[in-house]
Amino acid sequence: MLAAAIQMEATVADVPVNLEKARRLIDEAAEAGAEWIALPEFFTTGIGFVPELATAALAPDGAATELLLESAARHGVNVGGSFLCRDPDGEVRNAFLLATPDGIAGRHDKDQPTMWENSFYIGGSDDGVIEAGELTVGAAVCWELMRTQTVRRLQGRVDLMIGGSGWWSIPAWSPAGMTRRIETRNAALARLAAESFSTFVGAPFIHAAHAGRLDCGTPWAPLAYHGYFQGGAVICEANGTVVARRDRTEGEGVAIGEIAPGRRVPLAQAPNGFWLHPRGAVLALTWHYQRVHGRRWYRRHVRGRSAATVASELAGLGS
């Protein structure tokens, strides 16, 4: 099959602009002949510690779902991506939806928010296995590619994997030499997580990504964040062979490659621990402190709030 992994440069928190970008890139991929198309996670909003994201979640049957359904039907393709979704219970989740020409085949909620993402949604508990016609598809997004539990829920069960990331850089704070070294490792880890994951599961992987600048606040810190998304939209065979890749420096666009769906014997063995790859001290520290901050922030400003209520609280959202 011909597959397409989309790389976006989202305008953070601007849903209408990002929906139009996604539509244009889906059209480009479909016109190139792609049968399966992946959008990155948060394709409607991008991600960062931006207070306006508190009002940016869409309904399960809202504009993001309509875009996926309309695109799949119009082009006769399968297309999936995740977005901030406010469910009827008042909670927001990072929901990956897979649309086929016949409708929505299934949904996967990302298992755990990453770092400042905790401020905007809660985790899910499904296995991410979606039946889509003749294929069984596994959904996984961003730091789910870093966890052994993702391998355990998908290994040997799926013919194809699809997902996307919004992985950001380490900011160039002082001391500059140290942060440059940490960012070099962070960029390498982002690439490794996406390009090696198929070898743990034993199925091809279509992985979309965000690229472009990111400027936002930093939780519980006076420093502003200035950085970028790592990019790296990639399509891999089950053995880890990269058949198409788009580097972050190439910006917005589409990576297209041919893959053979099907279940293979995994070439790599996941370790026994929680993490599939070592994070390093800085990412581990940031993971923990931003999780504590984010859960508190989410309870105060997002959970169960209507858009109008959240908008009236925007002046105090930095706390």
Question: Can you give the pLDDT of all 319 residues of the chain as single tens digits?
Answer: 999 999 999 999 999 999 999 999 999 999 999 999 999 999 999 999 999 999 999 999 999 999 999 999 999 999 999 999 999 999 999 999 999 999 999 999 999 999 999 999 999 999 999 999 999 999 999 999 999 999 999 999 999 999 999 999 999 998 999 999 999 999 999 999 999 999 999 999 999 999 999 999 999 888 899 999 999 999 999 999 999 999 999 999 999 999 999 999 999 999 999 999 999 898 999 999 999 999 999 999 999 765 556 656 555 554 4
pLDDT of residue 319: 47
Whether this prediction's pTM lies above 0.85 is answered by yes
Domains parsed from the chain with CATH numbers: 2-301 (3.60.110.10)
Q: What is the DSSP string of the chain?
A: -EEEEEEE---TT-HHHHHHHHHHHHHHHHHTT-SEEEPPTTTTT--SS-GGGGG--B-TTSHHHHHHHHHHHHHT-EEEEEEEEE-TTS-EEEEEEEEETTEEEEEEE-SS--GGGGGT-B------EEEETTEEEEE--GGGGGBHHHHHHHTTT-SEEEEEE-PBPPP-PSSHHHHHHHHHHHHHHHHHHHHHHHHHHTS-EEEEEE-SEEEE--TT-SSPEEEEB-EEEEEE-TTS-EEEEEEGGG-SEEEEEE---S----SS---SSSBSS---HHHHHHHHHHHHHHHHHHHHHTTT--HHHHHHTGGGTT-
The 10s digit of each residue's pLDDT in 17-57 is 999 999 999 999 999 999 999 999 999 999 999 999 999 99
Q: What are the pLDDT digits (tens) for 267-277?
A: 999 999 999 99
